[in-house]
A and B are shown apart, each in its own frame.
Chain A
Amino acid sequence: MTPEIAVLLAQDGITTGAIYVLVALGIVLIFLSTRVIFVPFGDVVGYAALTLAALQLKRIPGTVWLVLTLAAIATVVEVYGLTRRHQARRIPQALLYYAALPVAPAATAYLAAGYDLPMWAGIPITFAVVLPISPLLYRIAFRPLADASVLVLLIVAVAAHFALSGMALVFFGPEGFRTAPLTRAFFSVGPMTVSGQSILVVASAAVFGLLLFLFFERTLNGKALRATAVNRVGARLVGIELSNTAATAFLLASALAAISGILIGPITTLYYDSGFLIGLKAFVGAIIGGLVSYPATIVGAILVGLGESYASFWNSALKEVIVFGSLIPILLWQSFATRGGVVEDVEEEEGESRT
């Protein structure tokens, strides 16, 4: 490996790493405020990229049908629940949140498809179409289980991914897409060339990371999310509605997913199921950060991007094995680092009959 190649790989690694940072931040955000390890998060990232690609090809994005399906299920579940609890007057509000708001951008995308959309129009439409996916999934799959253990929530998340990836092939088809680059500029920095695309990705990651930080530090909603992460019962006692903070967290995370997807679209060819692997790599980054700290998550995600970049140079067929296999020594190290600490006491949920 010559120094030039090493630098090139590092640049590549940092660019993908920056995207993993955004994805990992979304994962940690959802985990801390809802205890859900949101496995389908990566899928949402993939759908964002595919949506933009479809719009650029003047096709109707599969996301439209996906959002309509999810919105229909969520609306039925919500309205049925309200009727059973004799709260029929809240039905109009439910229809607004679960039917009108998600369907409006999907309808826009449906109508806009077929026109030659400029980039500045395609990106906001993509963003708006993808945004409702995570909150709708939360309403359908997770809200009924708010008090279940982390493990049950995780199994549900994996099941949701299973169902979602099945639908994705139907809606998006088996072929791969790559979106047009956001910029074709190149810059020379000393002896090396840096692509405008890379700079844009890293800068966006920095900006959105900073916005997230400000949201947590400066806004009441952000503080409510942090309070929920620290102590759920305590947050409830001071009047924080947990299902509202959860919905906020899923909405925010969905926004991060949409941005990540738009950024990664031009970098690599994506298929209907590529998002899952992106999400899992971001998970590896989040796990390096111990799933608790935002700064450690950023470092972890960039390390994964770098590791992947060098691994693919060394042996491109085995790069997935290397990235996921590296989790084992990381966990081993964490396992010994936490040894001798206080014995954690995870109380399991009751009420399951056993032999």
Chain B
Amino acid sequence: MKRVRSRLVMLIAIALVAVAPAIFGSFTITLMNYIGIYAMAALGLVLMTGIAGLTSFGQAAFVGIGAYATAWYTVAHGGSPWIGLLLALALTALVATILGVATLRLGGHFLPLSTIAWGIAIYFLFGNTDALGRYSGLSGIPPIAIGPLSFEGTIAVYFFIWAVLGIVMLLCWNLLDSRQGRAIRCLRGGTALVESLAIDSFRIRLAVFVLAALLAGLSGWFYAHIQRYVGPIQFDIDAGIELLLMALVGGAGQIAGAVVGSAIVTLAKNVLQDVLPAITSYSGQFEAVVFGVVFIILLQKARGGVVPIIKKYLPRPEQNVLPIKASPLPRRQRTSAPGQAVLAIEGATKRFGALAAVNKVSFEVKAREVLGLIGPNGAGKSTLLNLITGVLKPNTGTIVFQGADITKLPPRRIAAAGVARTFQHVKLRPNMTLLDNVLLGIYARTRAGFLAGALRLDRAEESAARAEALHQLRRVGLGDRYGDLAGNLPLGQQRLLEVARALAADPTLLVLDEPAAGLRRLEKQTLSDLLRDLRTQGMTIILVEHDMEFVMNLVDRIVVMDFGVKLAEGLPAAIRADGRVQEAYLGGVA
């Protein structure tokens, strides 16, 4: 029922766009053409800034590259606009790749700062290049035509723009609901989780960045052939800021936000251009003042933008439709025989300045055993887990997993090799559903690429992945809540969700950092049963935990750490009787 109603909202929107030319005059339709064109570029920013968290002030520069590419080709060489389109897209993709490789590895604020720099550099480049008409730009650009069918008229091109915009939005929508789309959505909120899921965060960032640039290039192509003129001032840094304003006004995390934001800003500009000249002779400047102030107020008061506010009054679309039937995903072959070492740590040392958090620790974890890693607070347990999973690199020592040295591998390669983990401080994506969070764990087991996701060619694999994710959710007792947002769970259940996500990766070695903290008694029992189950199915588990009852009843062997060194290793009963261990925990009872 809900699904039908949200479809209805979408159909009404499409119908309104379709009948608009019959209702409005050509001035309004021209305005709508520009709204559509800006919406394409803003859509790129929605993906990049709103969803992936990469801020760019240079989107207008990419629009400019697309516009100038087609303008140069069609004006100076008399070429076809269609070849111009290919040229525009190829050039924006190329420039974006180069800039992306240079800046996307650097954290946080370097990217937006460098987008300001290249936005300005490109403006001056356009303005000082003879072949591009210097500051007077290029004029006489031909309109778009397919054979005899010309898109010169306002209404003809209106349908063309909005059809393309509709298709592009649909593709983006599909993409976000696919394997790579989930990887994009999980970029925001820190790379530690992303890399632990075997997702190459740099590659995904680069892909989003290039995708956003392609949308800008497409927007630029339309712009050039409709305006029939391009000049550097149209693509300067102010234009880039305006595009960002569109994306944020609309609601930076929302695909529909691109259209809403583009409409609001374009219409507001139009009104200001009518009203301001009556008040002041500096109307162009007051426009900037008004936009700047609106921008600041928006970020102070309503950072989510307009679309989320509207959405409250609309039915929430049913997401994550469950598969009826699906063939199961292939499982990992576990080659190690029981008793054979799956993980061997040899003399691992990690120093932070003068403090040796982990000091010459050596032990082995054997196939199909549950190893408990215990010790007082600050003993170095979590640091050791970070060494195993590659988040930190040891100063000396080696770590061997299934016969391969993984000491120097990045976390994502270790994860891909079959080590899955949970975090001491829960790392989930609170704005994604439980199912989507678990699906993140399946990333490394599936193959679908960006194009397959956008074109829905991934449905068979996607169904199998969803069936698997649901299965893992049921195993930890969260099967009924698959559609809820992860942020709405209490802390204990968030830990269970992390366990489900780790299991979804079908790991050989499962690394759990305090999984029982914050769990209620019954939940602890369920978790304990689940871990026993996993052991009989052939999984190897390392467990850091403070709840001694939980540890003693579950694990096969225990390693005790204190002040960074291994204090003892043995069977639970022997550890319980060990005097040094008692002293470490209770502080010199003897």
Contacts and interface: CB of A to CB of B under 8 A. Distances in A.
Interface in B101-146: 101-103, 105-110, 112-114, 116-118, 120-121, 124-125, 128
A95 interface: no
Interface stretch (B216-224, B289-297, B555-563): B289-297
Given A159-B295, A166-B289, A348 B53 contact: yes
B50 A158 contact: no
A318 B99 contact: no
Interface centre among B109, B120, B192, B244 (most CB of A within 10 A): B109
Interface in A296-355: 317-318, 320-321, 324-325, 327-329, 331-332, 334-336, 338-340, 342-348, 350-355
B254 A355 contact: yes
A168 B371 CA distance: 67
Contacts of B108: 150-151, 344, 346
Interface stretch (B299-307, B469-477, B535-543): B299-307
Contacts of A332: 101-102
Given A170-B285, A332-B102, A348-B190, A343 B391 contact: yes
Interface residues of A, number: 61
Contacts of A331: 102-103, 106, 110, 114
- Interface centre among B118, B125, B296, B487, by most chain A C-beta atoms within 10 angstroms, is B296
Interface string B213-255: 0000000000000000000000000100100110010001111
Nearest to B254: A355
B286 interface: yes
A283 B102 contact: no
B57 interface: yes
Interface residues of B, number: 69
Given A317-B128, A348-B190, A354-B254, A163 B296 contact: yes
B304 A169 contact: no
B117 A280 contact: yes
B28 interface: no
Interface centre among B99, B120, B253 (most CB of A within 10 A): B120
A163 B292 CA distance: 4
A347 B189 contact: yes
Interface string A261-303: 0000000000000000100100110010001000000000000
A166 B288 contact: yes
Nearest to B101: A332
A353 B286 CA distance: 32
22 contacts: A39-B116, A145-B299, A150-B108, A151-B109, A151-B112, A156-B295, A156-B300, A161-B292, A162-B291, A163-B296, A164-B292, A165-B288, A166-B286, A167-B289, A169-B285, A280-B116, A320-B121, A321-B124, A329-B102, A348-B188, A354-B50, A354-B254
Interface of B: 50-51, 53, 55, 57, 98-99, 101-103, 105-110, 112-114, 116-118, 120-121, 124-125, 128, 176, 185, 188-192, 195, 238, 241, 244-245, 248, 252-255, 280, 282, 285-289, 291-293, 295-296, 299-300, 303-304, 308, 311, 391-393, 411, 430-431, 487
Interface of A: 37, 39, 140-141, 144-145, 148, 150-152, 154-156, 158-167, 169-170, 277, 280, 283-284, 287, 291, 317-318, 320-321, 324-325, 327-329, 331-332, 334-336, 338-340, 342-348, 350-355
